[in-house]
Amino acid sequence: MAILDPAIEASPVRAGLHSVPNELLLHALSFLPTKSLLPLTPTCHRFHDLILRILQHRMRLAASLINHKLQLECYHPSDKFSTPWWFCEYLGTDGFNYGDASEDDLFRDIANHGRLGRLAGLYSHFRPTETFDRRILGPHPAGDVPGHPDMAQNLSLPIRGPPEYGLVSQVVSLDEGVLFTQLMTNANLVRVDSPLGWLRGSVTVAEGVLRVWRHWLANQLSRGADGAVKPVEKDSILWMDQAKNVGLDFNVKETSWTRNQPIIMRQDEDVAVSYALEHEELLIRTTHLLFMFEESMQQDNNRSGKAVVFGSFRSTS
């Protein structure tokens, strides 16, 4: 019969963090928001790998926009109140390939310590789509006023139909000698009430001013739309911010200019031109989209349930 040292037998058994199963660690870490998880990745290789798995899962969910829609505004400053906004449909995420790519394909030829950086370089691709027909009021007989029963019969055709690719488009024009024009952009992540389709909240993903140069428009004329996901290095992408978190990929087509052009001009003179910008893709860095998605979820959880109702009410007393 073996004789044990009483001191050793009486000492308590201490279980370290490394003795905790991965399943329990994943469950505990999953309660932390992404911005709190990232500082924990240098703790050890085990934490790094577990957090990497959590981030991959969250990025897939964020890109799918569960109970959310991506809203895009892009307009010339003078057309702020006349240009509509568009919802965007999800096309895919680099490396995920609609869920078909494996983890080995995503991190091919990348060391373990560089996999987090690989996730930070992924982009999700969306395409703006027409949300409704933009219609204008046509000629109407005298005496017709808004609200009249015959008013609905005086609607004309849409201002412009979609191009052959089904892409949203807008026209930009440059006068003689003008080197660039500007577009105001705003991308929002809106939370949708599933039963009724109401918009319950909004988080700004990015906003900025795109400077569209004359020479850039001329260089993009030869580029067509093939429907494929474009790499982020393409010069056809105009970025909304310096960090390149959100950008717009355009197809450029020249349109007819109705003004009379001068008969005689210098060779280096910039004439008046007009182009149609087709919104092929909206690119968002997937990690940035994840941060905004979690901010929207947190915003929804903090709602008090109270509302302010404006109206005219008659007192019953």
Please tell me the predicted confidence (pLDDT) of residue 248.
Answer: 94
| Rounded Cα–Cα distance for residues 29 and 40 (Å) | 10
| Rounded Cα–Cα distance for residues 116 and 37 (Å) | 12
Residue indicated by tokens 């690119």? 283
Please tell me the predicted confidence (pLDDT) of residue 204.
Answer: 94
Please tell me the predicted confidence (pLDDT) of residue 72.
Answer: 94
pTM of the model: 0.73
| Rounded Cα–Cα distance for residues 282 and 73 (Å) | 11
Please tell me the predicted confidence (pLDDT) of residue 167.
Answer: 84
Looking at 30-174, list the stretches that DSSP marks H as alpha helix, in order from N- to C-terminal side: 34-37, 45-64, 103-106, 115-120
Per-residue pLDDT of the chain (317 residues; tens, 9 = 90+): 555 555 555 556 666 777 888 899 899 999 999 999 999 988 888 888 899 989 989 998 999 888 899 999 999 998 888 888 999 999 998 877 544 445 556 655 555 666 788 888 899 999 998 764 444 444 444 444 444 444 333 333 233 333 444 788 888 888 888 899 999 999 999 988 766 667 778 999 999 999 999 989 988 876 554 444 455 557 889 999 999 999 999 989 888 665 555 555 555 667 788 899 999 999 999 999 999 999 998 887 776 556 555 555 555 55
| Rounded Cα–Cα distance for residues 34 and 94 (Å) | 20
Please tell me the predicted confidence (pLDDT) of residue 108.
Answer: 58
| Rounded Cα–Cα distance for residues 69 and 192 (Å) | 7
